[in-house]
């Protein structure tokens, strides 16, 4: 079942590791088959060297394991909340990449300081509010997802496909597992460059609105002219 | 047509990637055949793994595509402005290398803090003024080039073969695509070291004028004595 | 004698090197066979490329060399103090990994700024008091171990399997040499991210107690649900 | 002539490159045969990929080229000054490694913040005074060497085998070309860790004198007990 999606999700998990932003098992990527309502996700705590498409776990949109003998990622319920709330997304990636985590730990959104950021995220990368102990008692992973949803009230999740979870770290998403992956890598680079920018000027101004808009539209607007006509991402 | 230049430009693009300063497709290098007025440039958004000399695009000095089925880099019109204004240059490289981008986002020129910088750039690395919304409406990529030209009024572009575009990132150039490449890599290293210098002393003084001059002349002056007699770069 | 432990300790030493946190011979890992009271440790100053299980040195809990023709690591007496005081540990790792050393040189404990830290260390990473000249005259390596013990009064060493030695660098431990290794690598990553966090906010708050507890329990509590049922680490 | 020294110096140059602290041709290592008064040094501006023992240049202690068809490194006269003034040294290495250059550009000596530093350098890494324009007119490379000598008045060059040249970058030396090499790599690591230390505490105190002495003696004193008995470095 879902052989192709299993392969793509497995590959997306391995790719995150190859990109050098995941230490040990500190990351997980999932992808969804919307027609079947089935999510393929990395098993919990399995080393990257041992990952195969067969070891991926299939879960439903209500968190139930549909197929697979291994436990799914402990963050699964955060992924499913995102899939339910953001119908346009096809993949979710979570990492502990160092600079994105540093911003999450400093509990600051990442301002859009330049075109590198604007090319992929239309405005600051939001940071969620911290979870209360009541939320943690209720369901930590699920509440983490719900906080992300709350943070994105009024924001198009595909125009800003990334978020910092307060005191924790980044989640990214996209139209596919591969795109979620790429956005997680880009978020780390954006965070790293933003840190270096702040070190040069603690009051660095954000990019002017008109350049932000221009750059984002160049890659993502209806008449986008970046790349080749038959490219999907 | 232009087979040798295609090969050299393709190789220069791949080399930038191998040097680790280009993430995904975040860079482009071009080279010019002055006799024919033909510029060879990377196609837009094509992954480095898929680049071949045949996929390079040939454009004229007025931005028209002369040969090639793929779209040229979206930054093409910035490259052509530079070739028209700086007759001594043979190659242009654009990247989003992190430390150079950080200086561009902090909107600061990079002072010449030491001989590593002085060996390749005779004075600070300039930073352009920000573009107005009027300029963006007119022609963003072309205006980016024109701002660079304005910034270099009275400056020899071969004595300072690099610039930071405000809120965006670096462009570098040289007598050939390979030299433009090397200058883009060196700019990133200069920017990184300058950031580390500022972290140690927020008021670090620039290099004394007499040492700046000595170092630059040692490598680039009429009687340069660095390297071997038959070296061209 | 102790062939399997020799192999695992040799592999743990090589793994530290492969992880890129050990320059030259700046690190050593040991493991203990509690039943025999025998510790296997890296020989002093031998390059990683030349390490083999046969070259490992076996010492007793009172520091006497039991087997091996090479000198054991000069830090051996620090390791043996830890094995005597912390009966639950099976391995010890010492490195000079750069960010952990920076915190040790700044003589600061590493606050628990986020879940990445909380997943492995239940509270701040402690920093020992500096050694007096009297302590150094007595027995530097042994006193280093004793200072660590003093610092851990009232702290479960397996809940915080890492420490910074004042003005020196990190030690980490675990149930096995491999786990000590992994904790040394994680300490370096925690230290690096904490440095990046402080750069963004010099007054960054520590993680809320209830999230710290939740995350630590998720991986290490009696009903831990991270990973797969048959995993030991 | 000097085949073995040529091989060792060539290898030391390649090793610096492999260690990742030399960009392009930004470094040079030499070694001396004291009996013959002959120095083997890297040729100027030759890429590392093309270096062979045969291409090394032999110069005398008065800077005259004794053997070799290529120009010797432009920094040769700095090397020869050091060999004349420091009779105990057998090798010299010069790089533009980024953190050491940052300290040289901030024109600050590197305080001895911890044992990692103390193991190799007995006290701060000195920084020279800047060169005057008079000195540059006279003989830049030679005066650079003379400034280093002046800076080491009263300091044993083998107890502190490294220096920062003001506004320029590091030189390191040792009993052999290989040891000079290793000291250049260690200087870069010391500088990087010192930068990270200062970022955590702008007033970080230096290591206590009694620990500095203990650590240095452990590796370099008459009764050194680090490493194995038959080790030379």
Q: What is the pLDDT of residue B231?
A: 52
Q: How far apart are alpha carbons B207 and B213 in whole angstroms? A: 10
Mean pLDDT of D46-50: 93
Q: Does residue C232 have a pLDDT over 50? A: no
| Geometric angle at alpha carbon C176, from C172 and C177, rounded to 5° | 65
| Geometric angle at alpha carbon C130, from C124 and C134, rounded to 5° | 150
Q: How far apart are alpha carbons D116 and A191 in whole angstroms? A: 30
CB contacts, 8 Å: C218 with chain A: 74, 140
Q: Name the stretches of chain A with pLDDT < 50.
A: 232-233
C156-to-A145, B52, C88 alpha-carbon distances in Å: 33, 59, 10
Q: Does residue D227 have a pLDDT over 90? A: no
CB neighbours (10 Å) of residue C111? 18
> Given B24, B74, B102, which is nearest A193 (Cβ)?
B102
With a threshold of 0.90, tell me whether the complex ipTM lies above it.
Answer: yes
How far D177 CA lies from chain C's nearest CA (Å)? Answer: 17
Do residues D202 and D217 make contact, with C-beta atoms less than 8 angstroms apart? no
Query: What secondary structure, in 3-state letters, does chain A show?
Result: CCHHHHHHHHHHHHHHHHCCCCCCCCEEEEEEECCCCEEEECECCCCHHHCCHHHCEEEECCCCEEECCCCECCCHHHHHHHHHHCCCCCEEEEECCHHHHHHHHHCCCECCCCHHHHCCCCCCECECCCCCHHHHHHHHHHHHHHHHHHHCCCCCCCCCCEEEECCCEEEEEECCHHHHHHHHHHHHHHHHHHHHHHHHCCCCCCCCHHHHHHHHHHHHCCCCCCCCCCCCC
How far A108 CA lies from chain B's nearest CA (Å)? Answer: 18
Statement: the pTM of the whole predicted model exceeds 0.95: yes
Of all residues in chain B, the percent with pLDDT exceeding 90 is: 92
Q: What is the pLDDT of residue C230?
A: 58
CB contacts, 8 Å: D211 with chain C: 130-131, 136, 167-168
Give tens-digit pLDDT for C105-127. 999 999 999 999 999 999 999 99
> Given C26, C71, C199, which is nearest D228 (Cβ)?
C71
Q: Does C149 touch chain D (CB under 8 A)?
A: no
Q: How far apart are alpha carbons A94 and D57 in whole angstroms? A: 54
Burial class (CB in 10 A: 0-12, 13-18, 19+), D49: exposed
CB contacts, 8 Å: D115 with chain C: 167-169
B63 as an active site residue: the answer is no
How far B207 CA lies from chain D's nearest CA (Å)? Answer: 6
The residue of D27, D72, D96, D102 whose CB has the most chain B CBs within 10 angstroms, and thus the best one to mutate to test that interface, is D102
Q: How far apart are alpha carbons D170 and D186 in whole angstroms? A: 11
Helix (H, G, I), strand (E, B) or coil at B170: strand
Give tens-digit pLDDT for A175-189. 999 999 999 999 999
DSSP assignment of D179-224, as one string? HHHHHHHHHHHHHHHHHHHHHH-TTPPPPPHHHHHHHHHHHHSTT-
Give tens-digit pLDDT for D90-145. 999 999 999 999 999 999 999 999 999 999 999 999 999 999 999 999 999 999 99
Which of A74, A67, A70, A64 lies closest to A28 in space, CA to CA? A74
User: How many contacts, defined by CB atoms under 8 Å, are there between C and D?
Assistant: 87
Q: What is the pLDDT of residue B158?
A: 97
Q: Does residue B116 have a pLDDT over 60? A: yes
Q: What is the pLDDT of residue A231?
A: 52
Question: Is the torsion defined by CA of A207, A209, A211, A212 positive or negative?
Answer: positive
> Given B193, B218, B228, which is nearest D102 (Cβ)?
B193
How far B26 CA lies from chain A's nearest CA (Å)? Answer: 9
| Phi, psi for residue D39 in degrees, rounded to 5 | -110, 130
Q: Does A198 touch chain C (CB under 8 A)?
A: yes
Buried b (16+ CB within 10 A) or exposed e, B31-43: bbeeeeebbbbbb
Rounded mean pLDDT of chain C?
A: 95
* Chain B residue with minimum CA distance to A202: B106
Structure token pair of residue D131? 């060169």
Q: How far apart are alpha carbons B100 and C91 in whole angstroms? A: 44
* From B48, B119, B139, B214, the catalytic residue: B119
Mean pLDDT of C130-153: 97
Q: Does A195 touch chain C (CB under 8 A)?
A: yes
Q: Does residue D233 have a pLDDT over 90? A: no
Do residues B28 and B172 make contact, with C-beta atoms less than 8 angstroms apart? no
* Subunits in contact with chain D (3 or more CB pairs closer than 8 Å): B, C
Q: Does D227 touch chain C (CB under 8 A)?
A: yes
Q: Which residues have C-beta within 8 Å of that of residue A206, sequence separation ≥ 6?
A: A111, A112, A113, A124, A212
Q: Does C49 touch chain D (CB under 8 A)?
A: no
Distance between alpha carbon A41 and the CA centroid of its chain, in Å?
Answer: 13
Can you name the residues that pair with C125 across neighbouring β-strands?
C110
CB contact under 8 A, A45 and C231: yes
Q: How far apart are alpha carbons B56 and B75 in whole angstroms? A: 14
Q: How far apart are alpha carbons B96 and B75 in whole angstroms? A: 13
Q: What is the pLDDT of residue D104?
A: 98
D119 as an active site residue: the answer is yes
Which of D122, D124, D98 lies closest to D189 in space, CA to CA? D98
Q: How far apart are alpha carbons D220 and D175 in whole angstroms? A: 13
CB contact under 8 A, A113 and B169: no
CB contacts, 8 Å: C106 with chain D: 197, 200-201, 204
Q: Does residue B223 have a pLDDT over 90? A: no
Of all residues in chain D, the percent with pLDDT exceeding 70 is: 97
Query: Which residues of C does the annotation mark as catalytic?
Result: 119, 226
Give tens-digit pLDDT for A54-67. 999 999 999 999 99
Distance between alpha carbon A46 and the CA centroid of its chain, in Å?
Answer: 20
Q: Which residues have C-beta within 8 Å of that of residue D69, sequence separation ≥ 6?
A: none
Do residues D92 and D30 make contact, with C-beta atoms less than 8 angstroms apart? yes
CB contact under 8 A, B197 and D106: yes
Structure token pair of residue C194? 């904490």
> Given A24, A99, A131, which is nearest C196 (Cβ)?
A99
Q: How far apart are alpha carbons C69 and C54 in whole angstroms? A: 10
> Given C96, C102, C199, which is nearest D197 (Cβ)?
C102
Looking at residue D125, the DSSP 8-state letter turns out to be: B
CB neighbours (10 Å) of residue B7? 15
Q: Does C181 touch chain A (CB under 8 A)?
A: no
| E strand spans, chain B | 27-33, 38-41, 57-60, 65-67, 91-95, 162-165, 169-174
Q: What is the pLDDT of residue B230?
A: 58
Q: Given the DSSP bridges, would you call strands D27-33 and C65-67 parallel, antiparallel or unpaired? A: unpaired
Q: Does residue C206 have a pLDDT over 80? A: yes
CB contact under 8 A, A24 and C218: no
Q: Given the DSSP bridges, would you call strands C91-95 and C169-174 parallel, antiparallel or unpaired? A: antiparallel
* Chain A residue with minimum CA distance to B27: A116
* Chain D residue with minimum CA distance to C70: D228
The residue of A18, A196, A216 whose CB has the most chain B CBs within 10 angstroms, and thus the best one to mutate to test that interface, is A196
Q: Does D211 touch chain C (CB under 8 A)?
A: yes
CB neighbours (10 Å) of residue C147? 20
> CB-hemisphere CA count at 13 Å for A143?
14
Q: What is the pLDDT of residue B37?
A: 96
CB contact under 8 A, B227 and D71: yes
User: How many contacts, defined by CB atoms under 8 Å, are there between B and D?
Assistant: 89
> Given A71, A102, A133, which is nearest C196 (Cβ)?
A102
B211: enclosing H helix or E strand: helix B209-220
B20-to-A135, B23, B124 alpha-carbon distances in Å: 43, 7, 24
Burial class (CB in 10 A: 0-12, 13-18, 19+), B114: buried
Q: How far apart are alpha carbons C130 and C111 in whole angstroms? A: 19
Do residues A45 and C230 make contact, with C-beta atoms less than 8 angstroms apart? no
* Subunits in contact with chain C (3 or more CB pairs closer than 8 Å): A, D
Structure token pair of residue B28? 């482009």
Residues in chain C: 233
CB contact under 8 A, D43 and B228: yes
The residue of D191, D199, D210 whose CB has the most chain C CBs within 10 angstroms, and thus the best one to mutate to test that interface, is D210
Mean pLDDT of C194-209: 97
Mean pLDDT of B158-176: 98
CB contacts, 8 Å: C70 with chain D: 228
Q: What is the pLDDT of residue A130?
A: 97
Mean pLDDT of B115-129: 97
> Given D185, D200, D214, which is nearest C103 (Cβ)?
D200
Q: Does residue D170 have a pLDDT over 50? A: yes
How far C225 CA lies from chain D's nearest CA (Å)? Answer: 36
Helices first, then strands: H and E counts in chain C: 7, 7
Kindly indicate the confidence band of residue D228, based on its pLDDT and cuts at 50, 70 and 90.
confident
| Geometric angle at alpha carbon B155, from B233 and B92, rounded to 5° | 45
| Phi, psi for residue A171 in degrees, rounded to 5 | -120, 145
Mean pLDDT of B93-119: 98
Q: Does residue D68 have a pLDDT over 80? A: yes
Q: Does B106 touch chain A (CB under 8 A)?
A: yes
Q: What is the pLDDT of residue D230?
A: 58
Q: Does D170 touch chain B (CB under 8 A)?
A: no
User: How many contacts, defined by CB atoms under 8 Å, are there between A and C?
Assistant: 88
Q: What is the pLDDT of residue A230?
A: 57
């Amino acid at each position: 079942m879902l052989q192709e999606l299993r392969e793509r999700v497995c590959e997306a998990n391995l790719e995150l590791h190859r990109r050098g932003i995941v230490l040990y098992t500190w990351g997980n990527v999932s992808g969804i088959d919307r027609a079947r309502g089935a999510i393929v996700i990395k098993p919990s705590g399995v080393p990257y060297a041992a990952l195969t498409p067969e070891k991926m776990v299939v879960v439903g949109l209500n968190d139930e394991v549909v197929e697979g003998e291994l436990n799914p990622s402990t963050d699964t319920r955060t992924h499913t909340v995102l899939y339910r709330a953001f119908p346009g997304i096809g993949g979710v990636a979570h990492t502990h990449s160092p600079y994105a985590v540093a911003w999450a730990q400093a509990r600051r959104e990442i301002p859009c300081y330049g075109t590198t950021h604007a090319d992929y995220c239309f405005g600051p990368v939001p940071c969620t509010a911290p979870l209360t102990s009541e939320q943690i008692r209720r369901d930590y992973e699920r509440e983490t997802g719900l906080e992300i949803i709350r943070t994105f009230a009024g924001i198009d999740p595909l125009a800003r496909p990334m978020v910092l979870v307060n005191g924790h770290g980044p989640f990214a998403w996209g139209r596919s597992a591969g795109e979620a992956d790429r956005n997680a890598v880009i978020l780390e680079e954006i965070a790293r460059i933003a840190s270096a920018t702040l070190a040069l000027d603690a009051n660095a101004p954000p990019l002017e609105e008109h350049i932000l808009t221009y750059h984002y539209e160049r890659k993502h607007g209806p008449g986008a002219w970046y790349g080749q006509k038959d490219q999907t991402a």
